[in-house]
Structure 1
Amino acid sequence: MNIGVLGLQGAVREHVRSIEASGANGIVVKRVEQLEELDGLIMPGGESTTMRRLIDLYGFMEPLRQFASEGKPIFGTCAGLILLAKHIVGYDEPHLGVMDVTVERNSFGRQKESFEADLSIAHVGEGFNAVFIRAPHIVEAGEEVEVLAKHNNRIVLARHGQFLGCSFHPELTADNRLTAFFISMVKEAKEKTLA
Protein backbone atom coordinates (compact mmCIF):
# COMPACT_ATOMS: atom_id res chain seq x y z
CA MET A 1 0.00 0.00 0.00
CA ASN A 2 1.29 3.41 -0.99
CA ILE A 3 0.65 6.22 1.48
CA GLY A 4 1.78 9.67 0.38
CA VAL A 5 2.79 12.60 2.55
CA LEU A 6 2.24 15.99 0.93
CA GLY A 7 5.83 17.22 0.87
CA LEU A 8 5.37 20.98 0.50
CA GLN A 9 6.00 21.95 4.13
CA GLY A 10 5.95 20.48 7.64
CA ALA A 11 7.12 17.28 9.36
CA VAL A 12 7.20 15.18 6.20
CA ARG A 13 10.04 12.73 7.00
CA GLU A 14 8.57 11.93 10.43
CA HIS A 15 5.28 10.92 8.81
CA VAL A 16 7.11 8.72 6.30
CA ARG A 17 8.97 7.01 9.18
CA SER A 18 5.67 6.35 10.97
CA ILE A 19 4.02 4.99 7.79
CA GLU A 20 6.92 2.61 7.19
CA ALA A 21 6.96 1.53 10.85
CA SER A 22 3.28 0.64 10.35
CA GLY A 23 4.05 -1.64 7.40
CA ALA A 24 3.08 0.53 4.42
CA ASN A 25 5.12 2.28 1.76
CA GLY A 26 5.68 6.01 2.50
CA ILE A 27 6.09 8.40 -0.44
CA VAL A 28 6.99 12.10 -0.28
CA VAL A 29 4.62 13.84 -2.71
CA LYS A 30 6.06 16.89 -4.45
CA ARG A 31 4.43 16.54 -7.86
CA VAL A 32 0.74 16.32 -8.80
CA GLU A 33 1.28 13.16 -10.94
CA GLN A 34 2.41 11.25 -7.84
CA LEU A 35 -1.15 11.34 -6.46
CA GLU A 36 -2.15 8.74 -9.05
CA GLU A 37 0.03 6.05 -7.48
CA LEU A 38 -1.34 6.55 -3.94
CA ASP A 39 -3.92 4.63 -1.91
CA GLY A 40 -4.05 7.30 0.81
CA LEU A 41 -2.53 10.68 1.66
CA ILE A 42 -1.35 12.47 4.79
CA MET A 43 -1.44 16.27 4.85
CA PRO A 44 1.07 17.19 7.55
CA GLY A 45 1.27 20.03 10.01
CA GLY A 46 3.02 23.27 9.15
CA GLU A 47 1.51 26.68 8.59
CA SER A 48 -1.86 26.44 6.84
CA THR A 49 -1.61 29.79 5.01
CA THR A 50 1.87 28.94 3.67
CA MET A 51 0.73 25.43 2.74
CA ARG A 52 -2.26 26.83 0.86
CA ARG A 53 0.03 29.21 -1.04
CA LEU A 54 2.29 26.28 -2.03
CA ILE A 55 -0.73 24.11 -2.97
CA ASP A 56 -1.88 26.89 -5.31
CA LEU A 57 1.63 27.57 -6.61
CA TYR A 58 2.19 23.92 -7.57
CA GLY A 59 -1.34 23.37 -8.90
CA PHE A 60 -2.38 20.81 -6.24
CA MET A 61 -5.85 22.09 -5.31
CA GLU A 62 -7.96 20.49 -8.05
CA PRO A 63 -5.98 17.20 -8.10
CA LEU A 64 -6.43 16.97 -4.30
CA ARG A 65 -10.19 17.52 -4.67
CA GLN A 66 -10.21 14.85 -7.37
CA PHE A 67 -8.26 12.48 -5.08
CA ALA A 68 -10.88 13.03 -2.36
CA SER A 69 -13.79 12.56 -4.78
CA GLU A 70 -12.38 9.14 -5.75
CA GLY A 71 -13.01 7.99 -2.18
CA LYS A 72 -9.32 7.85 -1.26
CA PRO A 73 -8.58 8.49 2.43
CA ILE A 74 -6.84 11.66 3.57
CA PHE A 75 -5.41 12.25 7.06
CA GLY A 76 -4.87 15.89 8.01
CA THR A 77 -2.71 16.66 11.05
CA CYS A 78 -2.68 20.16 12.60
CA ALA A 79 -2.50 22.47 9.52
CA GLY A 80 -3.67 19.47 7.45
CA LEU A 81 -6.89 19.43 9.49
CA ILE A 82 -7.44 23.13 8.67
CA LEU A 83 -6.98 22.35 4.96
CA LEU A 84 -9.59 19.53 5.12
CA ALA A 85 -12.24 21.44 7.11
CA LYS A 86 -15.47 22.70 5.53
CA HIS A 87 -15.50 25.77 7.79
CA ILE A 88 -12.73 27.80 9.42
CA VAL A 89 -13.63 30.29 12.17
CA GLY A 90 -13.06 33.86 10.93
CA TYR A 91 -12.64 32.88 7.25
CA ASP A 92 -15.24 33.01 4.48
CA GLU A 93 -13.78 30.26 2.31
CA PRO A 94 -12.45 26.80 3.18
CA HIS A 95 -9.38 25.27 1.51
CA LEU A 96 -10.29 21.73 0.38
CA GLY A 97 -13.53 21.83 2.36
CA VAL A 98 -14.15 18.07 2.32
CA MET A 99 -14.51 17.23 6.01
CA ASP A 100 -17.72 18.32 7.75
CA VAL A 101 -16.11 20.14 10.67
CA THR A 102 -15.57 23.73 11.76
CA VAL A 103 -12.06 24.44 13.02
CA GLU A 104 -10.46 27.32 14.84
CA ARG A 105 -6.82 28.06 14.09
CA ASN A 106 -4.20 28.42 16.89
CA SER A 107 -6.93 27.75 19.44
CA PHE A 108 -4.51 26.37 22.02
CA GLY A 109 -2.29 29.46 21.86
CA ARG A 110 0.99 30.36 20.19
CA GLN A 111 4.21 28.36 19.74
CA LYS A 112 5.33 28.95 23.33
CA GLU A 113 2.06 27.45 24.62
CA SER A 114 2.87 24.12 22.95
CA PHE A 115 2.22 21.13 25.23
CA GLU A 116 1.80 17.37 25.38
CA ALA A 117 -1.20 15.46 26.71
CA ASP A 118 -2.17 11.82 27.12
CA LEU A 119 -5.33 11.07 25.17
CA SER A 120 -7.78 8.22 25.09
CA ILE A 121 -8.56 7.59 21.39
CA ALA A 122 -11.55 5.56 20.21
CA HIS A 123 -10.49 2.51 18.10
CA VAL A 124 -6.85 3.24 18.96
CA GLY A 125 -6.43 2.98 22.73
CA GLU A 126 -5.43 4.76 25.93
CA GLY A 127 -2.38 6.79 26.85
CA PHE A 128 -1.65 8.26 23.43
CA ASN A 129 0.96 10.98 23.93
CA ALA A 130 -0.23 13.87 21.74
CA VAL A 131 2.03 16.82 20.89
CA PHE A 132 0.15 20.11 20.39
CA ILE A 133 2.02 22.93 18.60
CA ARG A 134 0.02 26.08 17.74
CA ALA A 135 -2.81 23.61 17.37
CA PRO A 136 -6.29 24.18 15.95
CA HIS A 137 -9.29 22.39 17.38
CA ILE A 138 -12.63 21.21 16.03
CA VAL A 139 -15.30 23.61 17.28
CA GLU A 140 -18.18 21.76 15.66
CA ALA A 141 -18.58 18.38 13.97
CA GLY A 142 -21.33 17.46 11.49
CA GLU A 143 -23.72 14.61 12.30
CA GLU A 144 -21.85 12.06 10.17
CA VAL A 145 -18.57 12.86 11.92
CA GLU A 146 -17.30 10.47 14.58
CA VAL A 147 -15.44 12.20 17.41
CA LEU A 148 -12.46 10.02 18.36
CA ALA A 149 -10.70 12.10 21.03
CA LYS A 150 -11.13 15.22 23.16
CA HIS A 151 -8.78 17.25 25.30
CA ASN A 152 -10.34 19.49 27.99
CA ASN A 153 -13.72 19.06 26.28
CA ARG A 154 -12.35 20.24 22.93
CA ILE A 155 -12.53 17.87 19.94
CA VAL A 156 -8.97 17.13 18.81
CA LEU A 157 -9.49 14.06 16.59
CA ALA A 158 -12.40 13.09 14.35
CA ARG A 159 -13.27 10.91 11.40
CA HIS A 160 -15.72 11.73 8.61
CA GLY A 161 -15.97 8.78 6.23
CA GLN A 162 -12.61 8.55 4.45
CA PHE A 163 -11.24 11.68 6.18
CA LEU A 164 -9.34 11.73 9.46
CA GLY A 165 -8.34 15.01 11.07
CA CYS A 166 -6.42 15.77 14.24
CA SER A 167 -5.19 18.86 16.07
CA PHE A 168 -1.90 17.37 17.21
CA HIS A 169 1.27 15.90 15.68
CA PRO A 170 1.18 12.08 15.95
CA GLU A 171 4.38 11.81 13.90
CA LEU A 172 6.51 13.52 16.56
CA THR A 173 6.45 10.55 18.95
CA ALA A 174 7.40 6.90 18.54
CA ASP A 175 3.75 5.84 19.00
CA ASN A 176 2.54 4.78 15.55
CA ARG A 177 -0.95 3.64 16.56
CA LEU A 178 -2.78 6.54 14.93
CA THR A 179 -0.86 6.16 11.66
CA ALA A 180 -1.68 2.43 11.77
CA PHE A 181 -5.37 3.31 12.29
CA PHE A 182 -5.26 5.54 9.20
CA ILE A 183 -3.60 2.75 7.22
CA SER A 184 -6.46 0.44 8.25
CA MET A 185 -8.89 3.07 6.86
CA VAL A 186 -6.92 3.05 3.60
CA LYS A 187 -7.09 -0.77 3.46
CA GLU A 188 -10.84 -0.63 4.04
CA ALA A 189 -11.32 1.97 1.26
CA LYS A 190 -9.15 -0.04 -1.13
CA GLU A 191 -11.16 -3.23 -0.48
CA LYS A 192 -14.38 -1.30 -1.18
CA THR A 193 -13.14 -0.10 -4.57
CA LEU A 194 -11.98 -3.62 -5.48
CA ALA A 195 -15.26 -5.22 -4.37
Structure 2
Amino acid sequence: MSSPRIGVLALQGDVREHLAALESSGAAGSSVRRAEELDEVDGLIIPGGESTTMSNLLTVFDLLEPLRARLKDGLPAYGSCAGMILLAGEILDTRPDAHHLDALDITVRRNAFGRQVDSFETDLQFAGIEGDAVRAVFIRAPWVERVGPDVEVLATVPEGPAAGRVVAVRQGNVMATSFHPEVTGDRRVHQQFVDLVRKSF
Protein backbone atom coordinates (compact mmCIF):
# COMPACT_ATOMS: atom_id res chain seq x y z
CA MET A 1 0.00 0.00 0.00
CA SER A 2 1.48 3.33 -1.02
CA SER A 3 2.28 6.05 1.51
CA PRO A 4 0.89 9.38 0.38
CA ARG A 5 2.95 12.51 0.93
CA ILE A 6 0.82 14.92 2.91
CA GLY A 7 1.93 18.44 3.68
CA VAL A 8 1.13 20.54 6.72
CA LEU A 9 0.85 24.27 6.05
CA ALA A 10 3.67 25.51 8.28
CA LEU A 11 2.82 29.17 8.75
CA GLN A 12 1.33 28.93 12.25
CA GLY A 13 -0.25 26.41 14.62
CA ASP A 14 0.30 22.76 15.64
CA VAL A 15 2.53 21.80 12.71
CA ARG A 16 4.68 19.25 14.57
CA GLU A 17 1.66 17.58 16.14
CA HIS A 18 -0.03 17.15 12.76
CA LEU A 19 3.17 15.80 11.22
CA ALA A 20 3.47 13.24 14.03
CA ALA A 21 -0.17 12.22 13.58
CA LEU A 22 0.37 11.77 9.84
CA GLU A 23 3.46 9.62 10.31
CA SER A 24 1.61 7.33 12.73
CA SER A 25 -1.28 7.10 10.25
CA GLY A 26 0.82 5.72 7.41
CA ALA A 27 1.64 8.91 5.53
CA ALA A 28 4.88 10.73 4.79
CA GLY A 29 4.50 14.20 6.28
CA SER A 30 6.25 17.38 5.19
CA SER A 31 6.10 21.06 6.01
CA VAL A 32 4.76 23.43 3.34
CA ARG A 33 5.80 27.08 3.25
CA ARG A 34 6.49 27.63 -0.44
CA ALA A 35 4.62 26.97 -3.67
CA GLU A 36 7.21 24.45 -4.85
CA GLU A 37 6.68 22.45 -1.64
CA LEU A 38 2.93 22.55 -2.23
CA ASP A 39 3.51 21.10 -5.70
CA GLU A 40 5.13 17.99 -4.18
CA VAL A 41 2.30 16.84 -1.87
CA ASP A 42 -0.70 14.58 -2.46
CA GLY A 43 -2.77 16.23 0.26
CA LEU A 44 -2.57 19.15 2.68
CA ILE A 45 -3.48 19.83 6.31
CA ILE A 46 -4.22 23.41 7.34
CA PRO A 47 -3.73 23.53 11.12
CA GLY A 48 -5.25 25.72 13.78
CA GLY A 49 -3.94 29.17 14.59
CA GLU A 50 -5.34 32.65 14.04
CA SER A 51 -7.25 32.60 10.77
CA THR A 52 -6.82 36.24 9.75
CA THR A 53 -3.08 36.08 10.47
CA MET A 54 -2.80 32.85 8.49
CA SER A 55 -4.68 34.37 5.55
CA ASN A 56 -2.23 37.28 5.55
CA LEU A 57 0.75 34.90 5.73
CA LEU A 58 -0.59 33.01 2.71
CA THR A 59 -0.16 36.21 0.70
CA VAL A 60 3.24 37.02 2.28
CA PHE A 61 4.56 33.59 1.26
CA ASP A 62 2.90 33.78 -2.19
CA LEU A 63 0.82 30.69 -1.41
CA LEU A 64 -2.74 32.00 -1.64
CA GLU A 65 -3.32 31.66 -5.37
CA PRO A 66 -1.26 28.46 -5.82
CA LEU A 67 -3.23 26.85 -2.99
CA ARG A 68 -6.56 27.99 -4.41
CA ALA A 69 -5.55 26.56 -7.78
CA ARG A 70 -4.54 23.17 -6.35
CA LEU A 71 -7.74 22.93 -4.31
CA LYS A 72 -9.77 23.73 -7.42
CA ASP A 73 -7.89 20.93 -9.20
CA GLY A 74 -8.95 18.46 -6.50
CA LEU A 75 -6.12 18.47 -3.95
CA PRO A 76 -7.38 16.65 -0.84
CA ALA A 77 -7.28 18.94 2.18
CA TYR A 78 -8.12 18.82 5.86
CA GLY A 79 -8.48 21.90 8.05
CA SER A 80 -8.69 21.98 11.84
CA CYS A 81 -10.10 25.03 13.68
CA ALA A 82 -8.58 28.00 11.78
CA GLY A 83 -8.05 25.59 8.89
CA MET A 84 -11.81 25.07 8.73
CA ILE A 85 -12.31 28.83 8.59
CA LEU A 86 -9.81 29.25 5.75
CA LEU A 87 -11.39 26.43 3.70
CA ALA A 88 -14.91 27.87 4.02
CA GLY A 89 -16.85 29.67 1.34
CA GLU A 90 -18.26 32.23 3.79
CA ILE A 91 -16.93 33.47 7.14
CA LEU A 92 -18.88 35.39 9.75
CA ASP A 93 -17.24 37.72 12.28
CA THR A 94 -13.99 38.13 10.37
CA ARG A 95 -12.06 41.11 9.08
CA PRO A 96 -13.15 42.47 5.70
CA ASP A 97 -9.64 42.05 4.27
CA ALA A 98 -9.29 38.40 5.34
CA HIS A 99 -8.83 35.84 2.57
CA HIS A 100 -10.42 32.42 2.34
CA LEU A 101 -10.00 29.44 0.03
CA ASP A 102 -13.63 28.70 -0.89
CA ALA A 103 -13.07 24.91 -0.88
CA LEU A 104 -16.12 24.01 1.22
CA ASP A 105 -19.70 25.17 0.63
CA ILE A 106 -20.19 26.15 4.27
CA THR A 107 -20.67 29.25 6.37
CA VAL A 108 -18.55 29.32 9.54
CA ARG A 109 -18.60 31.67 12.50
CA ARG A 110 -15.21 32.52 13.99
CA ASN A 111 -14.74 32.12 17.76
CA ALA A 112 -18.32 30.85 17.94
CA PHE A 113 -17.77 28.99 21.22
CA GLY A 114 -16.22 32.02 22.91
CA ARG A 115 -12.77 33.14 23.97
CA GLN A 116 -9.76 31.11 25.15
CA VAL A 117 -11.25 30.77 28.64
CA ASP A 118 -14.31 29.09 27.09
CA SER A 119 -12.24 26.25 25.60
CA PHE A 120 -13.65 22.81 26.40
CA GLU A 121 -13.57 19.10 25.57
CA THR A 122 -16.38 16.71 24.71
CA ASP A 123 -16.96 13.30 23.14
CA LEU A 124 -18.34 13.18 19.59
CA GLN A 125 -19.83 10.52 17.36
CA PHE A 126 -17.91 10.97 14.11
CA ALA A 127 -19.26 9.56 10.84
CA GLY A 128 -17.04 6.81 9.45
CA ILE A 129 -15.19 6.24 12.73
CA GLU A 130 -16.19 3.14 14.63
CA GLY A 131 -15.58 2.27 18.27
CA ASP A 132 -15.25 4.76 21.08
CA ALA A 133 -16.38 8.35 20.67
CA VAL A 134 -13.83 10.87 19.42
CA ARG A 135 -12.54 13.14 22.18
CA ALA A 136 -12.68 16.66 20.77
CA VAL A 137 -10.71 19.65 22.10
CA PHE A 138 -12.21 23.04 21.20
CA ILE A 139 -9.98 26.13 21.56
CA ARG A 140 -11.52 29.44 20.43
CA ALA A 141 -13.26 27.28 17.89
CA PRO A 142 -15.61 28.07 15.01
CA TRP A 143 -18.81 26.24 14.23
CA VAL A 144 -20.65 25.72 10.95
CA GLU A 145 -23.87 27.70 10.57
CA ARG A 146 -24.76 26.55 7.04
CA VAL A 147 -23.88 23.54 4.93
CA GLY A 148 -24.41 23.33 1.18
CA PRO A 149 -26.24 20.43 -0.48
CA ASP A 150 -23.01 18.59 -1.33
CA VAL A 151 -21.56 18.82 2.18
CA GLU A 152 -21.69 15.81 4.52
CA VAL A 153 -21.96 16.54 8.24
CA LEU A 154 -19.49 14.30 10.08
CA ALA A 155 -20.09 15.40 13.68
CA THR A 156 -22.25 17.69 15.82
CA VAL A 157 -21.99 18.77 19.46
CA PRO A 158 -24.05 16.26 21.47
CA GLU A 159 -25.14 18.36 24.46
CA GLY A 160 -24.89 21.64 26.29
CA PRO A 161 -25.59 25.19 25.05
CA ALA A 162 -24.10 24.39 21.62
CA ALA A 163 -25.95 21.06 21.19
CA GLY A 164 -26.57 20.30 17.52
CA ARG A 165 -23.93 22.67 16.19
CA VAL A 166 -21.99 21.25 13.25
CA VAL A 167 -18.29 20.82 14.05
CA ALA A 168 -17.00 18.45 11.33
CA VAL A 169 -17.77 18.30 7.61
CA ARG A 170 -16.63 16.79 4.35
CA GLN A 171 -17.20 17.77 0.74
CA GLY A 172 -15.52 15.56 -1.82
CA ASN A 173 -11.79 15.47 -1.03
CA VAL A 174 -11.96 18.23 1.59
CA MET A 175 -12.53 17.69 5.32
CA ALA A 176 -12.66 20.12 8.23
CA THR A 177 -13.15 20.02 11.98
CA SER A 178 -13.71 22.80 14.51
CA PHE A 179 -11.59 20.91 17.01
CA HIS A 180 -7.96 19.78 17.31
CA PRO A 181 -7.53 15.99 16.96
CA GLU A 182 -3.76 16.37 16.77
CA VAL A 183 -3.53 17.13 20.52
CA THR A 184 -5.33 14.08 21.90
CA GLY A 185 -3.31 11.10 20.68
CA ASP A 186 -6.38 9.66 18.91
CA ARG A 187 -5.27 9.31 15.28
CA ARG A 188 -8.59 8.20 13.77
CA VAL A 189 -9.52 11.56 12.20
CA HIS A 190 -6.06 11.77 10.63
CA GLN A 191 -6.35 8.16 9.52
CA GLN A 192 -9.65 8.99 7.81
CA PHE A 193 -7.95 11.82 5.94
CA VAL A 194 -4.94 9.70 4.99
CA ASP A 195 -7.31 7.06 3.61
CA LEU A 196 -9.13 9.79 1.68
CA VAL A 197 -5.86 10.98 0.14
CA ARG A 198 -4.83 7.43 -0.71
CA LYS A 199 -8.12 6.84 -2.54
CA SER A 200 -7.63 10.03 -4.56
CA PHE A 201 -4.47 8.75 -6.31
TM-score (norm 2): 0.92
- Letter of the 1:68 partner, please give it: L
> How many aligned positions are there?
190
Please give the residue correspondences for 1:25-174 in structure 2 after superposition, counting only pairs within 5 Å.
Answer: 25-91=28-94, 95-125=100-130, 126-151=132-157, 152-174=163-185
Q: Which moved more, 1:24-33 or 1:88-97?
A: 88-97
Unpaired segments of 5 or more residues in structure 1? 191-195
Conserved 8 A contact 1:130-1:170:
yes
- The alignment yields a C-alpha RMSD, in angstroms, of 1.1
Aligned-residue offset at 1:36: 1.1
Structure 2 distance, partners of 1:83, 1:118, is 25
State the SS of the aligned residue for 2:133. strand
How much identity, in percent, do the aligned residues show?
49
More helix, by proportion: 1
Task: Decide which of 173, 184, 192 is 2:195's aligned counterpart.
Answer: 184
4+ aligned runs moved over 2 Å, structure 1: 90-94
Conserved 8 A contact 1:86-1:94:
no
State the SS of the aligned residue for 2:189. helix
Aligned-residue offset at 1:94: 5.3
Structure 2 distance, partners of 1:132, 1:166, is 10
Unpaired segments of 5 or more residues in structure 2? 158-162
Q: Which moved more, 1:174-183 or 1:23-32?
A: 23-32
Aligned-residue offset at 1:90: 3.9
TM-score (norm 1): 0.94
